[in-house]
Amino acid sequence: MTRTPTELKAEILHLTREYSSLMHKANRPGNDPHRSPFTLGQTIPYAGRVFTEDEVEAAVGSTLDFWLTLGLEGEAFETELAALLGVKHSLLVNSGSSANLVALSTLTTHKLPAHKRLQPGDEVITVAAGFPTTVTPILQNGLVPVFIDNNPVTGNLRSEQLQSAFVSGKTKAVMIAHALGNPFDIGAVIEFCREHDLWLIEDNCDALGCTYSMPIARAHALGFKENSPGISADGTHVTRYTGAWGDISTQSFYPPHHLTMGEGGAVNIIHRPPLKTYAESFRDWGRDCWCASGKDNTCNKRFQWQLGELPEGYDHKYIYSHLGYNLKPLDPQAAIGRQQLKKLPAFIEARKQNWEHLRAGLADLDEFLDFSLPTHATHWTPKGFMWDDSGCRTDCSWFGFMIRVKPDAPFTHSQLGRHLDEHKIGNRMLFGGNLLRQPVFVQLRKDRPESFRVAVPLDGADTIMNTALFLGTYPGLTKAMMDYEIETINRFILGN
């Protein structure tokens, strides 16, 4: 008997789940009883894909439908991510780096008021140590990045240096990342941006699921109310996810990140709806039309526009208001992402627990190592963090567990990293370290010294570059894996 397409698809998806449950046991969450057990000699990555047969079924099902380009799955993911964060809109792109490019480019549109539009030569304050694609969109748009320093303890900017970087009439925005899943000092940064009427772009690529809390009185002074979307309050503090405090923010869905589509990212429009249209234009070739793929006349005026010097009635689907790109992901990727979003709360909790397990296991090595702290924390205890008197708190969805080798230790961070690598333990330095030391910026200083500015000495960024590395905290780690990491580090350090 001939089976219907619906029956065939159901059978294919049933077999897909069966196949995935057999083949992908090593990719299940670390606390999943069906996960492959850790054995000595197995590589422990610093990060990786964590998924079950749910994601594989979603990917295959979407591929069988074969729409391919961004469509219904993408629309649903954008809606679900925006609802999670409590922002106006989320817009899918093909990577976190593309998200940063689109976010920054959005603020260059001629459709913004002249005093708010970023134009060539305007300055954008950023931080020296981190991932390069937080900074490169500034240069790619003809703007001038102005560098301030990092605090080695948190990995984040030294917010007290913002004023030193500001130049009236030239500074137009602040673009910085929440380092390794540790929120930066949002209260101080927003106050600075409000004082000078600056845009705030949050690079939230490493920090999905982090929250920042501030006292209610301070939140009210900055315009954040308890009944606003995405905000929770407990009577004393207002709390919100990172990526939902500034004007525009970005996400990455590359495999090491908090959820994955393989490749992918998002631009979040936090509270100014018109920015969505501008961001879509830069993402979608620079076109003026806002029709979704497969739709031709959303505005009901497709042949009634007259823009630029084009003839009246020129097809609106081929009118371009910006020099844009094509940075969309595929719909099967969004289908995967929707399944990952359902697991995000468990992933976040696992990252927190894994960080705590590593911190407790290495606590006796503080003669040789310095450990990170959340922003606003003063020190760690096995019972929790102690906090400064600002009243602000951070709850970290850790991207990694960063340690710094003390200057008087009998080994360097490179030697420790090499030892971990020899024992198949994944580790990374804090991305590009002090980016001003990278070959591309050394060359840029020679070719176009006016293209960037260093506002303060970058001692903290150099400290991170020379002393820091991080281990994974991703939710695929098992307790046995982390215990092996702790044992290996202890043996190396106490044997030196």
> What local confidence, expressed as pLDDT, does residue 496 receive?
60
In a domain, 453, yes or no: yes
Q: Is 110 tagged catalytic?
A: no
pLDDT (average), residues 333-348: 98
Residue 405 shares a structural domain with residue 486: yes
Which one-letter DSSP state was computed for residue 428? Answer: B
Instruction: Report the relative pairing of strands 453-454 and 171-177 from DSSP bridges.
Output: unpaired
Half-sphere exposure for 341 (CA within 13 Å, toward CB): 20
Q: Write the CB contacts of 265 (distance below 8 Å, at least 6 apart in sequence).
A: 92, 93, 94, 95, 96, 97, 98, 99, 205, 250, 251, 252, 253, 254
Question: In 178-210, where do the E strands start and end?
Answer: 199-203
How many independent structural domains does the chain possess?
2
pLDDT tens-digit readout, 252-308: 999 999 999 999 999 999 999 999 999 999 999 999 998 887 888 988 999 999 999
Q: Can you give the pLDDT at residue 228?
A: 80
Please determine, for residue 186, whether its predicted confidence score (pLDDT) is greater than 90: yes
Give the least confident one: 160-164, 229-233, 376-380: 229-233
- The single residue of 257, 316, 419, 423 carrying the catalytic annotation is 257
Cα separation of 381 and 363, whole Å? 9
Which residues are 90's β-sheet partners? 268
| 109 and 117 Cβ atoms separated by less than 8 Å | yes
Is 349 part of a structural domain of the chain?
Answer: yes
Q: Are residues 153 and 227 in the same domain?
A: yes
Note whether 285 and 324 are within 8 A (CB): yes
* Predicted confidence (pLDDT) at residue 372 exceeds the cutoff of 70: yes
Same domain, 150 and 284: yes
Q: Is pTM beyond 0.85 here?
A: yes
pLDDT over 70 for what percent of the chain?
A: 100
Q: Read off the CATH number of the domain in which 267 is found.
A: 3.40.640.10
472 strand-pairing partners? 400
Task: Give the domain range for residue 199.
Answer: 72-293+311-318
pLDDT at 262: 95
> Do residues 355 and 445 share a domain?
yes
Find how far residue 321's CA is from the centre of its chain. Answer: 28
pLDDT tens per residue, range 389-405: 999 999 999 999 999 99
